Structure 1
Amino acid sequence: MKQIQTGRFLAAISFVALGIFLLLINIGIISMEMTEAIVFLYPILLVLLGGKYLVEALLPSVRRKKWFTGILLLTLGLLLVLDRFSILSFSLWSFWKLWPLIFVLFGVKLLSKFRKNQGFSLVRSNSYKKPNWKVESVNDWSFVCDYDFDFSTTLIPEEETIIKLSGFVGDINIILPDDLPFKVEGSGHVVSAKIDKHNQDYVGRGHSLSYQTDDFDDSLQRLVFYLDFSVLDLRVDRI
């Protein structure tokens, strides 16, 4: 079975609903001016768009999870829909009242970590240095984390292994064999990174961390690191 593309599916449903609604207006079943129709309909589109982001956030194949955008649009749309049906009073200018959703987002993000190959902890310290430790893909979130990886002490599988780490503060040290292809992609507001003698330091939003070896694309045996922290201190050495 082919995987349904949720974005296109919800967009199609939106157009069908919009077309039917406008058709009912044109043939006189629903008496409403066009501007009133638009004001009435756009909250429904917000609900569908928010639902799209939340569904995509549940899919393992989606790397960039838009939890906050989905929750915000869905909540805003639902409140406006309830207003249109006179169940409660809420306007678009009441948007600022939704700031407690930040706490909801944090709770949802914590709950989303209890999946296969995922873990959660406020403070985590892990060391992978023992001889012949098992190398496998990891997807982990911690508020504060300290990771030490030594891939020179073990056998690495003949495949792409993905290490995804995220949180608020990350202190990550990685030792790699000199002939092992790898890639690092990350983001953060405050980043201090030294990757194979290359320094990448910055402070502020809108920056990304990116590095890969020249032989990465042509290799089957390779490591990929995805790092997403507000504050990140990273060191990668090859021996």
Structure 2
Amino acid sequence: MRKGWLHFLLAFLLIGTGIVLMLENLGVIDKTLYISWGMILAAILMLTGLKLWWDRLAGHGGSWMFGSFFTIYGLLVLLGEIGVIIFTFSDVLKLWPLLFIYIGFGMFLGGSRKRFRVNVDTEDLSGSSFEKKHNNKKMHTVIGDHQYNAENWKVEPMQLWNAVGDYHFDFTKAFIPEKDTPISVKGWAGDIKMLMPENLDYRIEAFVKAGSINLLGKTSDGINRSTTFETPGYQDATRRLTIDIDLKAGDVRVDKV
């Protein structure tokens, strides 16, 4: 481990010990505290959450969402283990209201956060006409931001769904095959940004329930906004993108360089 992480661990243990001793002195804990596996696991959860928070603040990746969740969950379990409140590991479902908080913050905060994701390969999940027309690989994500901006990243048919989070596509850095590549991006809340190269043909159909669509400098905002754009050479192009965007709340921005 790095020296900074050891200092972080030591500081956490000192803080935890001080809190426990103070609770004993105040009579909140009426017996000598014994270390249990539950307390150890709860402490590990808190350490993991705080480390994710620290990495996020320091710009070394991390996750504000998972950091806060593990910290809160671990703290509640720890308080339950020492008898301050009634809370156990199995009470995790009681924290489901945090989802609304994360959705709210997700609508205001941006960044390059990465979250837990679930990849699902199925024949058909939603049954939309776009999905039936193309045989795409699907990726469903609970909460998270996604960056497609690495050098020479390969563009493939995709069906992406995200509850809360942002997408950033930089097609100027991408390897785009000589065919029609369909891309579907859908979600509840978040922002979608796309950067298109000058020599690429594409068609975009974008719908936002509440938010704005900025397509090559032309903005439409409000409720139930929809925009369709097609480059002049799209119909005859062999190398092209067919993009479908559907958001409940958020902003869509497409720029060209």
Do the aligned partners of residues 116 and 227 (structure 1) sit closer, same or farther apart at CA in structure 2, a change above 3 Å counting? closer
State the identity as a percent. Answer: 30
Q: For the residues of structure 2 that align with 1:209 and 1:145, how far apart are their CA atoms?
A: 21
Q: For the residues of structure 2 that align with 1:179 and 1:119, how far apart are their CA atoms?
A: 28
- Alignment of 1:175 with 2:175, yes or no, is no
Query: One-letter code of the match for 2:206?
Result: G
Unaligned runs of 5+ in 2: 1-123
Q: Match for 1:147 among 157, 162, 167? A: 167
The Cα of 1:58 is off from its aligned counterpart by: 5.8
Q: Match for 2:242 among 195, 202, 224? A: 224
SS in 2 for 1:141: strand
Q: For the residues of structure 1 that align with 2:189 and 2:202, how far apart are their CA atoms?
A: 23
The Cα of 1:197 is off from its aligned counterpart by: 1.6
- Alignment of 1:237 with 2:255, yes or no, is yes
Q: For the residues of structure 1 that align with 2:227 and 2:161, how far apart are their CA atoms?
A: 18
Q: Match for 1:133 among 147, 153, 158? A: 153
Q: For the residues of structure 1 that align with 2:179 and 2:128, how far apart are their CA atoms?
A: 18
Do the aligned partners of residues 133 and 58 (structure 1) sit closer, same or farther apart at CA in structure 2, a change above 3 Å counting? closer
Corresponding residue for residue 233 of structure 2? 215
Do the aligned partners of residues 149 and 58 (structure 1) sit closer, same or farther apart at CA in structure 2, a change above 3 Å counting? closer
Corresponding residue for residue 62 of structure 1? 129
SS in 1 for 2:251: strand
Q: For the residues of structure 2 that align with 1:155 and 1:187, how far apart are their CA atoms?
A: 27
Residues 152-171 of structure 1: pairs in structure 2 closer than 5 A:
152-171=172-191
- Structure 1 residue ranges, 4+ long, deviating more than 6 angstroms after superposition: none
Q: For the residues of structure 1 that align with 2:240 and 2:211, how far apart are their CA atoms?
A: 24
Q: For the residues of structure 2 that align with 1:210 and 1:162, how far apart are their CA atoms?
A: 15
Q: For the residues of structure 2 that align with 1:189 and 1:148, how far apart are their CA atoms?
A: 20
Q: For the residues of structure 1 that align with 2:246 and 2:162, how far apart are their CA atoms?
A: 11
Unaligned runs of 5+ in 1: 1-56, 66-114
Residues 88-127 of structure 1: pairs in structure 2 closer than 5 A:
117-127=137-147
Contact 2:208 2:251 in 1 (8 A): no
The Cα of 1:60 is off from its aligned counterpart by: 6.5
Do the aligned partners of residues 171 and 58 (structure 1) sit closer, same or farther apart at CA in structure 2, a change above 3 Å counting? closer
Contact 2:203 2:230 in 1 (8 A): yes
RMSD: 2.6
Do the aligned partners of residues 58 and 131 (structure 1) sit closer, same or farther apart at CA in structure 2, a change above 3 Å counting? closer
Residues 6-54 of structure 1 deviation map (CA, whole Å, 9 limit, x = unaligned): xxxxxxxxxxxxxxxxxxxxxxxxxxxxxxxxxxxxxxxxxxxxxxxxx
- Alignment of 1:194 with 2:205, yes or no, is no
Q: For the residues of structure 1 that align with 2:172 and 2:136, how far apart are their CA atoms?
A: 26
Q: For the residues of structure 2 that align with 1:217 and 1:116, how far apart are their CA atoms?
A: 21
SS in 2 for 1:189: strand
Do the aligned partners of residues 140 and 214 (structure 1) sit closer, same or farther apart at CA in structure 2, a change above 3 Å counting? same
The Cα of 1:190 is off from its aligned counterpart by: 1.1
The Cα of 1:145 is off from its aligned counterpart by: 2.3
The Cα of 1:191 is off from its aligned counterpart by: 2.9
The Cα of 1:176 is off from its aligned counterpart by: 1.0
Q: For the residues of structure 2 that align with 1:153 and 1:226, how far apart are their CA atoms?
A: 21
Residues 166-200 of structure 1 deviation map (CA, whole Å, 9 limit, x = unaligned): 11113111111112111111222213111112222
